[in-house]
Structure 1
Amino acid sequence: MIHDFLPVCREDMEKRGWEQCDFVYVSGDAYVDHPSFGPAIISRVLESFGYKVGIIAQPDWKNKDSITILGEPRLGFLVSAGNMDSMVNHYTVNKKRRHSDAFSPGGVMGLRPDYATIVYCNLIKQVYKSTPIILGGIEASLRRLSHYDYWSDKVKHSVLIDSGADIISYGMGEHSIVEIADALNAGIDVKDITYINGTVYKTKTLDNLSDYINLPSYDEIVKDKRIYAESFYTQYKNTDPFTAKILVEKAKEKLYVVQNPPAKPLTTMEMDDVYALPYMRDYHPMYKADGGIPALSEIKFSITSNRGCFGGCSFCALTFHQGRIIQVRSHESIVDEAVTMTKDRDFKGYIHDVGGPTANFRHTSCEKQLTSGILPAKSSLLRAYV
């Protein structure tokens, strides 16, 4: 196993002896192989299961050839706008254009398009019309059903409709992306992958569904703000992976968007596995001449100890993305990562932060009940590295 950055060009593929990637990950961020970056986690998890993953970071969306540099993947394209929603990345709350992009080389603005997830998918479809496209990341996750778009002041369809993609892996995605990959690898058509928790898909018929909640249609929520609010409240109530129902939303005549219940939270063992993957913990060397990636400096020597938030604050979307169940790493895993950091030549002797995306929650009083008996005792992740 080569311990290096994942391929970003044909030459990198040849060094690994690859003729074709299984997946090509298209991201709106520059390529940073660090566990604080979602694309790094998903690509390394897939690698741990034996899949060949290549990276196309910030392709030129005005040139369709930029999407072909690694060739057509065997199983599909993975598409993400990056660690942030591309519109939040580009504009202030006053809709003023930002002057820098911390996730781009040297902080240069303008290397990704507005609504990047949709634009990248349309770019791929121009060249590879039948290759499956799987969406992920915060932009797709929070736009998975019809939603109000602040920037255009309009209610928009699910990003699945506007992008032409086949399926969304919403939330953090480790479980669902592996299940999607295994299904595609087994020869299942992407249109038939309708049974995986943590996914959203399109369908023309509901004949195969039972025990689902029918949300108001897109046409209904466009006309009435109260109906839109009621629809979102139903979605919010169905963010628990153990009690959530299948949600169905009619997008167009004879076209439905179906959201399966969220994927189960990671166990402590699975969390440990994810953060023990062989990340390079740095940005790709090709960015060095441009001054590197500013976003990395904020988190390079920080440690993620937990996920999820039971706060449910009205101003925060974390519950909608990561869920309310706190997922934690073991003390041993955290210490191991801290020791790894001390070996970095740029380490100055202190770790900036140990915590999660909101408050530094560790566990609730009933955490032991949640992690014993209900969740699997043995990790299913990291086959190749354990």
Structure 2
Amino acid sequence: MTQPSTEGEPERMRIFAHLAYGFDARQWEEKWRDGRLLGLNEPRPYGYHHAVEHGCDVVFSTDHAESFIGHSLRGFLRLVLGFDVLHAFRNRHAMMAADVIWTHTESQHFAVSLLLKQRSATHRPRLIAQSVWLIDGWSRLHPHRQRFYRWLIESADVLTFLSPVNASVASALFPGKPCEFVQFGIRADIQAAPRAGSVRSPLRILAVGNDRHRDWECLVSAFGNVAGFNLTIASQTIRTDLSSYRNIAVVTPRDNEALKLLYGAADLMVLPLKPNMHASGITVLQEAALFGLPTVASRVGGLDGYFRDDDVCFVEPGNPTLLRRAAQAFAANPQLSVHFASRAQARMRADDLGSRAYVSRHVALSHELLRGSRRRGEQASHQADERSATGSEPILDHAP
């Protein structure tokens, strides 16, 4: 918990960022320095280290070395429970020394919640439980698994989501539990000016991503072997057979510089998505904006909670004809590209869509939780004093 401050110095809030195994901050930084982290990433995971700028001390979860038996046990428990409790258990000492615990996905916050069940509500850190895929898959969970997860969610002080759709659905699923939409943001200190002038022919389209909700079939149907378009797909997860398409290339960028070259060579980003509720593709959407690249995207997942219709060309999901028509509009009007790319960049500035703002929202939520904890503690102390003074329990008023 927060240590008493020295005279004249404000208390520093202690944050523990519990992330998935494999996201050790030291390993992350090494990959970032070597350019092996693809995209506009921060030197520490998700930029959570920026909380230091708000007077916080930040500790990240550590990947502990494990034997074959330990690795197997951790995998078995994750398979049975649906989350990585052993990784959280190994980090329990640093975790319980914090004032507030931040998690990035439900796999982490369920594990933390299970550990917090062993602590009284007044003698444990507060928990900001962020979920990504939980709500999308909730209806498919077995009722026993749903009840188990509801029991774990009781330990969370606030549920946060990167999508307004997720937050809205969660509010109905978990009445009485605070649910907050927290806008995600990436490193936004680098911006490339949108390119002016004529668009090249054929139009060079780029599609990026590994998320399970990418609609590659719709994308290929829209542009495969269609004159006037060259399509490059940067993905490690696409399984669609593309051998019969002469204008489609699938690449796997080996490092960040290779990915930046792809962005620089493209005229248009296309983000085809299947219906989802977790803002699939928001990282790519923000990267495209910062690289000065206009985007055509499926209107799903709450992406329009970040960008408006004048910033991103949104189209109905699963409709290759509309996807192709939108791209044709950009090919026919070069100024349309400049307009959308400029508007998307302006939106990121106006709404502060960056990692620093994302972290500052977590800090603000953390302060709110600690203020609430102090008020509850003061009330409990006051009630205890009253009981001590009267020598009896307070009389409760009962409704008729």
Q: Which has the higher helix share?
A: 2
TM-score higher than 0.5: no
With normalisation by structure 1, the TM-score equals 0.38
With normalisation by structure 2, the TM-score equals 0.36
